[in-house]
Amino acid sequence: MTKETVVNDHEHNENHLITERREKLAKIRESKPVAFPNHFRKDTDAKQLHQEMEGLDREALKEKSKIVKMAGRIVAKRLFGKGGFVSLRDQTGDIQIFVNTGLIGPEAFEEFKTWDIGDIIAVEGEVSRSDKGELTVRANQLILLTKSLRPLPDKFHGLTDVEARYRQRYLDLIMNESSRETFRKRNLILRTIRNFMDEWGFEEVETPMMHPIPGGANAQPFVTHHNALDMEFYLRIAPELYLKRLIVGGMERVYEVNRNFRNEGVSTRHNPEFTMMEWYWAYADYKDMMDMTEAMMREIALKVNGSTEVPYQGYTLDFGKPSLRMTVQESILKYCEEAKDYDLDTREGVAALADLYHIKYQESDCWGKILMEIFDEKVEENLMQPTFITGYPLAVSPLARKNDENPLITDRFEYFIGGREVGNGYSELNDAEDQHERFISQVADKESGDDEAMHYDKDFVTALEYGMPPTGGEGIGIDRLVMIFTDSASIRDVLLFPHMRMRD
């Protein structure tokens, strides 16, 4: 039997089941005044009930005589004679429901027998335990709230096809507890971050998502058109330049949890629409930002995993001790054995090392850009434990403050966990004339064919001319952070609705 035959048979069987369910719904519409009632209100959920009744045996529950109202989806159903069991699933978990004619009457039981797996029902009944000791609600009232017209995936195999899980996230959440847990943890991570920022005295703000000039990162933007103003706007690639305007305005500690859009590739690490958290702290520098990041990561690890040691893809990440800290050049020397034979302070030296590793670069590329090509190719994937890389070249850091001792590098770091960049921070450039010159350089790069180079933002330079205090800033990718703390291999696992190519 060919794969095509199996697919066709499956579609035929599914269509047959859908037809049967539509016929059942038609009968419900004929026999009841309301086919989809909305009068029932639940008073407990599965997790709450399991916790409340933990340790109580059948006799203790009988004495307690607790009546509950619950609602959820039928995910399993077993009938025998004049009785049966249903596994009811709500957002917190599963609970067993016992049904028989003695409790709800023969007419209601006959109706119950026609219900299907996937139907959403309401139940009222007394809490007990089955003969096998499983917590059970003995139904004295059952109501069909929503008729499911499509069958759920096979209960033994669930929704295991990865692409189907991403395309039909609603089915993934119904069938897979691990997926529901991932998104619960995502919410917990965001709450933990917000509480942490509140405790550190930061104010949460909102800045525009449509920009007349794209800025704040080296990235290619999405373009849209505003009809009333008859002008092009760019979907936000970063909130940085707006948040720093707020620092100029006297808001000394600000942060934003924001959606960004970058018109780039799609992979296990990249989604064109993603969540960032950026914050700016007046009278602080990049070293303060690194210390703050370490404290934040410890807090998240403890809140989400209950320990500062976090499992990730076969590794144990340790957020309880200080993160590794080294410069770009130090990291290349550590992970590239041949690098010790080359002068990493000169363009000739880094170009020769890149040639040795067959790393491509442009003839017009300066020392800093070639150095970063080597780092990206040979170092990044090795940075499994939490690591701060510092000493980034000026050429790839158009918004960061120059280092006082070495003007070829900036007071900037990137934060790596699990072999990928999670955060980017620096001592902010607050010299308006220096920023003007760097924007001019970026414009020249763009005119030379660099689509990701920045535009010149005149209003931002004007803001700096009014004076911005010394400031530290950082952005952390929330999606990648959730990957780490949920042990997820792909960014699509932590996005409810990842972007995918449309099917015909």
pLDDT, tens digit, for every residue of 378-395?
Answer: 999 999 999 999 999 999
Q: How far is CA 428 from CA 94, 468, 473, 484, in A?
A: 51, 9, 6, 28
Domain count, the chain: 3
pLDDT, tens digit, for every residue of 186-229?
Answer: 999 999 999 999 999 999 999 999 999 988 888 889 999 999 99
Q: Can you give the CATH number for the domain in which 189 is found?
A: 3.30.930.10
In a domain, 464, yes or no: yes
Closest CA to 394 of 405, 404, 409: 409
Do 262 and 346 lie in a common domain? no
Mean pLDDT to the nearest integer, 282-308: 98
In a domain, 164, yes or no: no
Alpha carbon 242 to chain centroid distance?
24
pLDDT, greater one: 358 or 153: 358
In a domain, 206, yes or no: yes
Residues ≥6 apart with Cβ < 8 Å to 86: 74, 76, 77, 78, 96, 97, 99, 121
Do 392 and 447 lie in a common domain? yes
- Which long-range CB contacts under 8 A does 256-261 form with residues at least 24 apart? 256/204, 256/205, 256/206, 256/207, 257/190, 257/193, 257/194, 257/204, 257/478, 258/207, 258/209, 259/209, 260/217, 260/236, 261/221, 261/222, 261/235, 261/236, 261/237
pTM to 2 decimals? 0.90
Do 269 and 411 lie in a common domain? yes
- 265 within 8 A of 284, measured Cβ to Cβ: no
Q: State phi, psi for 336 to the nearest 5 degrees.
A: -120, 100
Place of tokens 């007046």: 282
In a domain, 157, yes or no: no
Do 100 and 145 lie in a common domain? yes
pLDDT at position 9: 58
| Predicted confidence band of residue 156 (pLDDT cuts 50, 70, 90) | very low
Q: Can you give the CATH number for the domain in which 45 is found?
A: 2.40.50.140
Do 420 and 358 lie in a common domain? no
| CA–CA separation, 443 and 451 (whole Å) | 10
pLDDT, greater one: 77 or 5: 77
Of 374, 404, 433, the residue that ends a domain is 374
Do 251 and 314 lie in a common domain? yes
Mean pLDDT to the nearest integer, 240-253: 97
Do 347 and 474 lie in a common domain? no
pLDDT at position 13: 79
Q: Is 414 annotated as a binding residue?
A: yes
In 3-state terms, what secondary structure has residue 133?
coil
The 223-226 sheet, strands edge to edge: 210-211, 231-235, 223-226
Do 207 and 310 lie in a common domain? yes
In a domain, 452, yes or no: yes
In a domain, 431, yes or no: yes
Alpha carbon 61 to chain centroid distance?
41
In a domain, 169, yes or no: no
Domain range spanning residue 256? Answer: 175-323+385-493
Q: Supply 322's token pair.
A: 């200080």
Which residue type does 122 have? A
In a domain, 167, yes or no: no
